[in-house]
Each structure stands twice: as C-alpha cells, then as structure tokens.
Structure 1
Amino acid sequence: MRIFITGETGYISNRLYANLCLKQENYSINKKSIRNESLNRLDFTDMDIVIHTAALVHKKESKYSKDLYFDINVALTKELALKAKREKVKQFIFISTMAVFGNQEGCINSGSSIEPVTFYGQSKLVAEEAIKELEDEHFKVAIVRPPMVYGPNCPGNYTLLSKLSKKTPIFPLVENERSMIFIDNLIELIYQLIQNEESGIFHPQDPQYINTSSMVREISEVHGKSIYFSVFAGKVLKKLIGHKGLYQKVFSDLYYAKELSSYKDNSYQKYNLKQAITITEREQ
C-alpha cells in the first residue's frame, strides 16, 4: 500500500506518519508539505491513497484574510484532489473539522444544520463539497470531521489545561460535556478507513464525552497533584465570562451524538480518557 500524507510539520500528519509506519510493514508512506511545493512536481502515479491533513488553522482570523483561507483550504485541496484522481489514486482522505457546524451548542446529530461561521470552518466545508463532486467508483472520498484533537505535545486548549492542572490548587467544577478525540484514536479510525477502502463522512470521537473538570482531575492525578474542585468557583466563572469565547470553547456543551460517531464496532476508540491522558502526559 502506497500512501501520501500532506503536511510535513503538522501535528496530525507527524503522528499519523509515525503510527502508520508501525502498523503495517507493507505500507510505503511519503509525507510532504504542499504549501510551498508545486503540485506539478509531485508524482501520484504510484500512489494508492492520499491523506490530506494540511490546512490553514490555529490562526487569529483577524490577521488573515478570507481569501487566504480559501486559497489554501479550498483551491489547493481541490487541485490536489484533481491531481490525485487524474493519476489514478484510489482513495482520498480529507481531514475536515467539527467547525463546519458553526456556533452550535449541545448535541450535534444527523439533523443538525451545517452553518460554519469562521473562515476556517467555511473553507473546510467548501473544500468538502468540491472534492465530493470528484468521487466515483474508481476514486473514493472519505471526509473526517474530528472534534478537538488532543495528545502528546498537541497545540491548542489542551496544553493550557495541562499547564494549569500542574499549578493551580483550585479549579472550577463545571458539569459540561464535550466531544474530543485522542490523537491515536483518530489515527486508528484513519487506519480502518484505509483498510476498509471507505468513502463517506465520518464524525469520530472518544468513547465517552469529556467533562473539562474531569479532564483536569485526570491530568493532575498523573502528576500526583491534588486539586480542589469548587462548585462556587464554577458559578462565578460562568457569571463573569460565560458569554466569552474562551468559556464557550472550554466549558460549554458541544458533542456529537453517539450514533453519529459510530463506525462498525467502534474499535477505533482504543483508548478511554484515563488511558489517553496518561499517555499524553508521560510523552510530553
């Protein structure tokens, strides 16, 4: 099996490359940045699968134009998929995002509206639509919409929570539910999509919904640290900044319905929260 992964320095691409190399000796894997590389110089004629992880993401959108997001996340994706199809690649796996659902709260299910509000979410949705139009019996397209991805040395909010968990003696007790996915669970899903030659849209998540306070507790326990979780602090925090974006990203409810993330026997969900946090913190 010959696989090309886009994204030379990305978090998902690096972990994916390392794990796929370990999973199958008969995989031949090439990983490369396409941002500064002319697609004309890439040769997919011997490739079976292209996994497109590269994107413009984790940027303050006020500093980046909508055109830049669409140039990188849409135009480049479509050009890559067209090239893959022309050169007889059998499967194109596209890493999209939960952000295509926009600013919804609570449960996202099969009837939820798709209304992205950020340039990132909008560009990912347009890219999805563009590559789905290319699909046929010889060119399978699998679209993966992960929620927040966490794991060893990951970017984003998990790192902030991890640092806070090691320092603070008190943390707000908030009863929320969020979909997240441990990086190795995401990679296992991608591996199964390859093995099963899948097409379609997939919404993976960890086997249980994540409660922010519980995640902080698990992190602190790995490091042998005790934290007091305060109901009062949780209420004060919500009153003071409950309307702020940071609170919404960390403490609000946002999760996929279980049936939406179901895939075969759900064996891609190899690690539960405790196992994932232990692996993450010990590899930091």
Structure 2
Amino acid sequence: MKKVLILGKDSYLGESLYSWLKKKPDSYEIDLAVTKDGEWKNKNLANFDTVVNFAGIAHINNITPDLEGLFFSVNRDLAIEMCTWAKEHGVKHFIQFSSMNVYGDYCGVVTDRMKTNPTSFYGRSKLEGDEGIHKLADENFTVASIRPPFVYGKGCRGNYNTVRKLTLKLPVFPTYQNKKSMIYIDNLCEFIRLTIDAGAGGVFTPQNRELVSTSELVNEIAKNNQHKIIRTPIFNWSIPILMRITDLAKKAFIDDSYSLELFDYYDWKYCVVDFKDSIKRTEL
C-alpha cells in the first residue's frame, strides 16, 4: 500500500490524479491538500511515502512583466519550500509537476532532456524550481521532475480550448504538417502512478505515443462535433511567413515536440488511451 499526498486540491491536475489513484483502493491511500496560505503544512507527513506537487502558476491571460516576482515565488520558491518540508519530515519520494517550457516557449524538437533553454520568466521559474528541488536529492530522498507538453482532457483549461473554439468557427484549415507533443490527462495520471510505484527520480518527459500536427488535431475535434471543415494544402505556403509575423500563427504551427526516444518509459504502459480516442473522450 502506497501512501500518497497530492498538493493541489481543487486543481484540475490534482483532482484528476486523486480520482485516478482512487480506482485502486487496495494499492493507494491518498490525501489532497490545499496549496494556498500554507494549509499544506498541517498535514502529518509521517503518514506518506510520496508527495506529488501540482502547485504552480501557468494559465494566466495577459502575462505582464510585473507578474515575474509572483511566478518565481510560486514556481520556484514554493516548490523548493515544499520539497524541503517533505524531506525534513521523512518523506522518501517527491514528484514535482514542471513544464516543457523549460526548453523554450517555442522549443522546436527537443532531443536532449537535460539541455534547457527557457525563453520566458515562466520557463525560467519552472527550471529554477526543478534545479532547487534536485539539489535536495540524496540516497534517502528521491526527487522527480515531470515536464509534460500540452496537457488536455475534458474540463482542462489551456491551449486545447483555444484550438477547439477556432476549429468550430472555421470552414477551412491548412494541412500544414508540424509536430506537436501532447499528453492526455489519463496518460499523464497513469505515468505519475507508475512513477510512484517505481519510486523513480530524475527528469521525465512523457507524452502521448503519437506526435500530431495541428491540422490533425483540428480534424479530430471537428469530426467529434459533426462540424464540417475542409482541410486544404492551398494555404500551406503562407504558414512560414505568418509564423514570422504573428504569435498566434507561431503558436499554432511551430514544432513543439519531444523526439520519440525521449518518452519510451515503462514500455509505453502509461499510454492507456490513443490520440483519436482521447479527443473523443474530451469532446463527449
């Protein structure tokens, strides 16, 4: 029986992992803690084998320079404080939810998980948080950083909803082939579950087994909503030009992916839902 404390009550990721582990009541004893106002410090950590930390700031519209201090105080300082607290109270395993943005907001194709290149204070704050917690690792305390790409699933905020809204408005869409890494929420939760079981430490870059293009994502969303959309190569020539002009086109069509050799963990057992089925479940 593994005893797990999830820091992230009322968060999409924290609640999703809680529900996922609850499916195996004979294997896990789980508790959720609120991460605001220091309430997490009230938990008796002597009862837990693993702490999973989802506390962080990411999905804020209109990020402005004056928010930099807030990002570092939560994504770096609070993560290090929580990890230190766990270690000092006898926890043996700490899992930190990090971000693909440590490799850059537009990272291309990542081939080396240890070669970071953050290009925003969000990415820098996540990287410095990772670096800080890994300094605490020793032979009695294992630390893992999970750096997922585009996370999606029913009820999840973020980029998926932006793509969905555009898809359901557009009559046509280019067939431009880029490479996007994504991870469906069930696959992410299963990855974390297997990492808990293994007591594994280090840096991890899980994703769905399939790399997809934005065009393929749009097609699946449209299909599951009975929305007729014509995909055509006619406009493909303009995409590289538009990516140099507008951030919206760059965000939609630039490559953001992990190379295939970076995510073959646990013999793919964490990829419990394939891409097409994951879109169907998200759109139900």
Partner Cα separation in structure 1 for residue 261 and residue 93 of structure 2:
25
What does 1:224-243 align with in structure 2 at a 5 Å threshold? 224-243=226-245
* Bigger mean CA offset, 240-249 vs 98-107: 240-249
Identify which of 172, 179, 182 aligns with 2:181.
179
Equivalent position SS for 1:259: helix
Shift of 1:166: 2.9
Code of the aligned partner of 1:251: F
Equivalent position SS for 1:94: strand
What does residue 25 of structure 1 align with? 26
Q: Normalising to structure 1: TM-score of the pair?
A: 0.93
Cα pair distance change 1:111/1:134, threshold 3 Å = closer
> Can you give the 5+ residue segments of structure 2 that lack an aligned partner in the other structure?
none
Contact 2:143–2:201 (CA under 8 A) maintained in structure 1: yes
What does 1:1-284 align with in structure 2 at a 5 Å threshold? 1-59=2-60, 60-62=62-64, 64-110=66-112, 113-282=115-284
Partner Cα separation in structure 2 for residue 240 and residue 250 of structure 1:
10
Code of the aligned partner of 2:29: S
Partner Cα separation in structure 2 for residue 188 and residue 40 of structure 1:
27
Partner Cα separation in structure 2 for residue 248 and residue 107 of structure 1:
15
Q: Normalising to structure 2: TM-score of the pair?
A: 0.93
Code of the aligned partner of 1:176: N
Partner Cα separation in structure 2 for residue 266 and residue 218 of structure 1:
23
* Bigger mean CA offset, 153-162 vs 191-200: 153-162
Partner Cα separation in structure 2 for residue 204 and residue 135 of structure 1:
21
Partner Cα separation in structure 2 for residue 167 and residue 243 of structure 1:
22
Code of the aligned partner of 1:167: K
> Can you give the 5+ residue segments of structure 1 that lack an aligned partner in the other structure?
none
Contact 1:61–1:119 (CA under 8 A) maintained in structure 2: no
Cα pair distance change 1:239/1:270, threshold 3 Å = same
Shift of 1:109: 0.9
Code of the aligned partner of 1:5: I
Partner Cα separation in structure 1 for residue 120 and residue 110 of structure 2:
18
Contact 2:7–2:14 (CA under 8 A) maintained in structure 1: yes
- The aligned length equals 282
Code of the aligned partner of 2:21: L
Code of the aligned partner of 1:45: A
Equivalent position SS for 1:65: helix
